[in-house]
Amino acid sequence: MAAKAKPRVGIVGAGIAGLRCADILIQNGARVTILEARGRIGGRVHQSEIAGHLVDLGPNWIHGTEENPIMDIADATKTIARDPEGRNISISCDGQLVDEQLTTKAAEFIWTTIEKAFEYSNHHGDSIPVERSLFDFIQEHVQKTNFSDKEKKLCLDSCKLWGAYVGDPIERQSLKFFRLEECIDGNNYFVASTYKRILEHVAKTALAQADIRFKQHVIKIEAPQIDGKHQVKVTTASGDIHDFDELVVTCPLGWLKRNTEAFHPRLPDRLLEAIKSISYGRLEKVYITFPEAFWNTDSNDTAHNKQPSANPVFAQFLEPTYTSHPKDIQWNQECLSLASLPTPCAHPTLLFYTYGPCATNIVEQIADLVEGSEKYNQVLTTILEPFYSKLPGYNPTSTSCKPTSILATRWQKDPYAGNGSYCNFQVDLTTGDKDIEALRSGVGLGPERGIWFAGEHTAPFVALGTTTGAYWSGERAAVQVCGKVGLGRIGVGVARDDSLPSASAGGK
């Protein structure tokens, strides 16, 4: 008797979700083809070099260390990841170093209030008005303290930098659905040696056993019912057509928002509503390298395991009055000193995080410029010099304080990244949790027509918008397909239950 043919499963996208999905499907006996628009794997997990050092253009944090498969992979691959503890400094709106006791007091208030906001959102989500923002919540709480007016203002100015976690201003962050920003328990670790080996590990099975087709930009996904049976037909921009029994679509939410008409027949209304309702954030990064870490004025360097160093690790620049910027755009910034990383990962580079309208404005300014060109460097230096020149040790005449290389991300110009960074949940959202559940279950699409969604925007609630969430979503979609076509469930991790709220705070 002839053996039963292996089901043919297509996956659109070779990011973490697609690669993990392929891994599980292959382990369970499916024949897997991955159609990837780019000429590489990884999607938003991607590295580039600055001044001879490898850096992550997408994620560089692991959010939550407990029972997090990405943390386990980091350990297994000897990836160096650490909680970058150390001195945090704030630069006031008029460009002065804020008294460090005050900075600590404001930071403690903000973290405690963020925890309270998660708790409030978890327990009162149903009754919280859709227009209430995270900022409203923090503002109300700061008014109830006995802080001085100066301290209250510092708390409110500092809390706005939480925008860099969600990828948009916190005045737009929904309080009702703030619980969907909550992360896995444990610390937030910075991946000092980059996500490179983590990606290689996740991709191993797919690279060895899937049929990966690069430069295959999918433009049409059809699911006709023929003789009561569905079939999935995928067309790429180059005109190639691929037929599958089942298809997993891992294109980012931002891509789905712009390409709902790629699906034939039309996507079910519930899925269209979900795609429209959830927002897509705008986080960007700028790496800027100097001949030496001039801000490290304390020669007692932690990288060499001596006493704790007084060198700054994080610097926050509150809404500045000392540099011009477009009206109505928040221009506050946050940077991390990569000189604070453990040896051998440390280098004299500052990593600036920009978000929301400010990130969009910066990306627009460099959109047409060649990376590394004189004009590109000049535009970015003009934007950032007002900030890094406020760091300790800065001397305008010293060559140590002149940048040698600058590298900025432009995810908002990248259609394959959905022209943004990751999903977020903004005010006026009414059914955010149900929207995510609809995308996961593929209501009216997966069981009926063989098309399933995966990707960070379909992750378990505790991991939405993260690499861990993308990884779990790939597993989940593989299990859905296996269940439907009658394959096993080998290699899938512990089931996760969304009804259990996690206790830890932390964004992307």
Ligand X SMILES: Cc1cc2nc3c(=O)[nH]c(=O)nc-3n(C[C@H](O)[C@H](O)[C@H](O)COP(=O)(O)OP(=O)(O)OC[C@H]3O[C@@H](n4cnc5c(N)ncnc54)[C@H](O)[C@@H]3O)c2cc1C
Residue 17 vs 117, nearer CB to ligand X: 17
Between the alpha carbon of residue 414 and those of residues 77, 139, 163, 284, 422, the distances in Å are 29, 35, 21, 12, 13
| ∠ CA 41-436-413, rounded to 5° | 45
Q: Which residue lies nearer to ligand X by CB, 98 or 248?
A: 248
CA distance 105 to 147: 10
* DSSP reduced 3-state for 247: strand
Q: 454 near 18, Cβ under 8 Å?
A: yes
Please select the residue that binds ligand X; options are 23, 36, 168, 245, rule is CB under 6 A. 36
Q: Answer yes or no: are the C-beta atoms of 4 and 182 closer than 8 Å.
A: no
Using CB under 6 A as the binding rule, whether residue 390 contacts ligand X is answered as no
Q: Which of 7, 10, 13, 163 binds ligand X (CB under 6 A)?
A: 13
d(CA 173, CA 456): 18
Q: Which of residues 421-440 bind ligand X (CB under 6 A)?
A: 421-422
End-to-end CA distance of the chain: 53
Query: Contact with ligand X (CB under 6 A): which of 456, 475, 476, 481?
Result: 456
Q: Does 12 bind ligand X (CB under 6 A)?
A: yes
Q: Quick one: 49 exposed, middle or buried, by C-beta within 10 A (0-12, 13-18, 19+)?
A: exposed
Choice from 17, 156, 221, 406 touching ligand X (CB under 6 A): 17
Among 466, 480, 502, 504, binds ligand X (CB under 6 A): 466
Q: Is 508 in the site for ligand X (CB under 6 A)?
A: yes
- The size of the interface with ligand X (CB under 6 A), counted in residues, is 41
Instruction: Provide the residue type at 108 as one letter.
Output: E
Q: Does 11 participate in binding ligand X (rule CB under 6 A)?
A: no
37 binds ligand X (CB under 6 A): yes
467 near ligand X, judged by CB under 6 A: yes
Return the residue of 411, 452, 453, 472 that touches ligand X, per CB under 6 A.
Answer: 411
Chain center to CA of 243: 32
Binders in 38-57 for ligand X, by CB under 6 A: 38, 43-45
Q: Which is nearer to ligand X, 69 or 320 (CB)?
A: 69
Least spacing, CB of residue 324 vs ligand X, in Å? 26
**Nearer to ligand X among residue 6 and residue 257 (C-beta):** 257
Evaluate the omega torsion of the peptide bond into residue 59 and state whether it is cis, within 30 degrees of 0. Answer: no
Listed ranges 118-126, 127-135, 145-153, 410-418: which one lies at the site for ligand X (CB under 6 A) = 410-418
Instruction: Please pick, from the candidates 16, 155, 198, 336, the single residue that binds ligand X as defined by CB under 6 A.
Output: 16
Answer yes or no whether residue 416 interacts with ligand X by CB under 6 A: yes
User: Segment contacting ligand X (CB under 6 A): 150-158, 204-212, 411-419, 492-500?
Assistant: 411-419
Instruction: Please enumerate, as own/partner, the contacts of 448-451 that have beta carbons within 8 Å and a separation of 24 or more.
Output: 448/230, 449/223, 449/225, 449/230, 449/232, 450/223, 450/230, 450/231, 450/232, 450/244, 450/245, 450/246, 450/247, 450/484, 451/221, 451/223, 451/232, 451/246, 451/247, 451/249, 451/263
Among 217, 220, 233, 258, binds ligand X (CB under 6 A): 217
Q: Is 58 in the site for ligand X (CB under 6 A)?
A: yes
Which residue, among 59, 15, 121, 45, has the nearest Cα to 425 in the 3D structure?
Answer: 121
Q: Under a CB-based contact definition with an 8 Å cutoff, are residues 91 and 316 in contact? A: yes
The alpha-helical segments, DSSP class H, found in 396-451 are: 432-441, 446-449
* Residues 232-271 within binding reach of ligand X (CB under 6 A): 250-252, 255
- Positions 280 through 339 that interact with ligand X (CB under 6 A): 283, 285
- What residues make contact with ligand X under the rule CB under 6 A? 12-18, 35-38, 43-45, 58-61, 63, 216-218, 250-252, 255, 283, 285, 409, 411, 416-417, 421-422, 455-456, 465-467, 470, 508
